[in-house]
């Protein structure tokens, strides 16, 4: 048992070490959220007056938790999917032939991805004063907790996919046809309660919607922006995580 815990720790530590060593990645990870928030967000907000929808001042506030959610989504997904890289470049074999269980490898990978996603998300929180969103100590820890849960959910999804696909090409396909739609249909960029019916339905089965919803609750606590009660968000996220991590462990442990 102790051996397995050390195994989990080792897998986790490697991901963390590699993350902090990869400066370009850390810097690049700022670029996308800034672009979304201050270019797209500001642009859309100011167009509200053109279309006669009020000031749009609330829009940036609405979008901010979505951007934090986006950061968590991409970071934890790609971290978990790095198993595909490790397989391609051979390091995975070193881990697979070591005397630790497949489950420990999966758990280590999940925790590694989630930790990095939390760090990245927390960095984005630094922009909150610019939007005049007050983040107190208590709110900060609420957000951290929620970010961790969301990151775990997404990372389990990444593990499942990484265990099924074996090539880098398939990886591109998944990014374009799964990850981007998941992001757009999560309520991160626009509210989903007033859109067309099919979008509404897709959003309901998209686990990320619940993550974004809970993030918004923790940051803004504005009932107008809230789709579901918090307990529902947490139950959905936790259930998806449990189911997906069991499935992921199973798929990852298969031998050919």
Which residues make up the interface to another protein (CB under 8 A)?
3, 6-7, 9-10, 13-14, 17-18, 21-22, 88-101, 168, 255-256
Q: Which is nearer to another protein, 101 or 195 (CB)?
A: 101
Q: Which is nearer to another protein, 2 or 132 (CB)?
A: 2
Q: How far is CA 42 from the centre of its chain?
A: 23
Shortest approach of another protein to residue 44 CB, angstroms? 38
Burial of 170 per CB tally in 10 Å (0-12, 13-18, 19+) = middle
Q: Which is nearer to another protein, 197 or 254 (CB)?
A: 254
CB neighbour list of residue 163: distance below 8 Å, 6 or more residues apart? 83, 248, 251, 252, 254
Shortest approach of another protein to residue 119 CB, angstroms? 18
| Gap between the Cα atoms of 130 and 149, Å rounded | 26
Shortest approach of another protein to residue 65 CB, angstroms? 33
Q: Which is nearer to another protein, 81 or 152 (CB)?
A: 81
Nearest to 159 by CA among 68, 75, 78: 78
Shortest approach of another protein to residue 87 CB, angstroms? 11
Q: Which is nearer to another protein, 104 or 241 (CB)?
A: 104
Shortest approach of another protein to residue 110 CB, angstroms? 17
Nearest to 152 by CA among 245, 13, 17: 245
Residue 203 · residue 192 · CB < 8 Å: yes
Tokens 């489950």, residue located: 103
């Amino acid at each position: 048992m102790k051996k397995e815990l050390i195994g989990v720790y080792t897998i986790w530590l490697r991901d963390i070490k590699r993350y902090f060593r990869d400066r370009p990645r850390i810097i690049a990870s700022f670029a996308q959220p800034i672009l979304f928030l201050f270019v797209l967000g500001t642009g859309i907000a100011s167009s509200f007056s053109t279309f006669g929808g009020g000031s749009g001042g609330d829009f940036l506030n609405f979008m901010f938790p979505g951007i934090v959610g986006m950061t968590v989504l991409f970071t934890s997904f790609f971290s978990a999917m790095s198993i595909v890289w490790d397989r391609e470049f051979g390091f995975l074999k070193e881990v697979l032939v070591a005397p630790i269980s497949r489950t420990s490898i999966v758990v280590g990978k999940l925790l590694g991805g989630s930790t990095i996603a939390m760090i990245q998300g927390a960095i984005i929180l630094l922009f909150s004063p610019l939007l005049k969103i007050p983040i107190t100590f208590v709110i900060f820890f609420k957000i951290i907790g929620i970010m961790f849960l969301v990151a775990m959910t997404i990372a389990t999804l990444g593990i499942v996919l990484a265990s099924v696909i074996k090539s880098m090409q398939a990886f591109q396909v998944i990014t374009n046809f799964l990850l981007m739609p998941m992001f757009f249909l999560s309520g991160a960029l626009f509210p989903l309660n007033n859109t067309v019916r099919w979008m509404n339905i897709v959003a309901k089965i998209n686990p990320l919607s619940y993550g974004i919803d809970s993030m918004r609750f923790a940051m803004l606590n504005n009932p107008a922006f809230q789709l579901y009660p918090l307990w529902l968000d947490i139950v959905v996220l936790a259930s998806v995580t449990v189911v997906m991590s069991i499935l992921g462990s199973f798929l990852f442990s298969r031998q050919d």
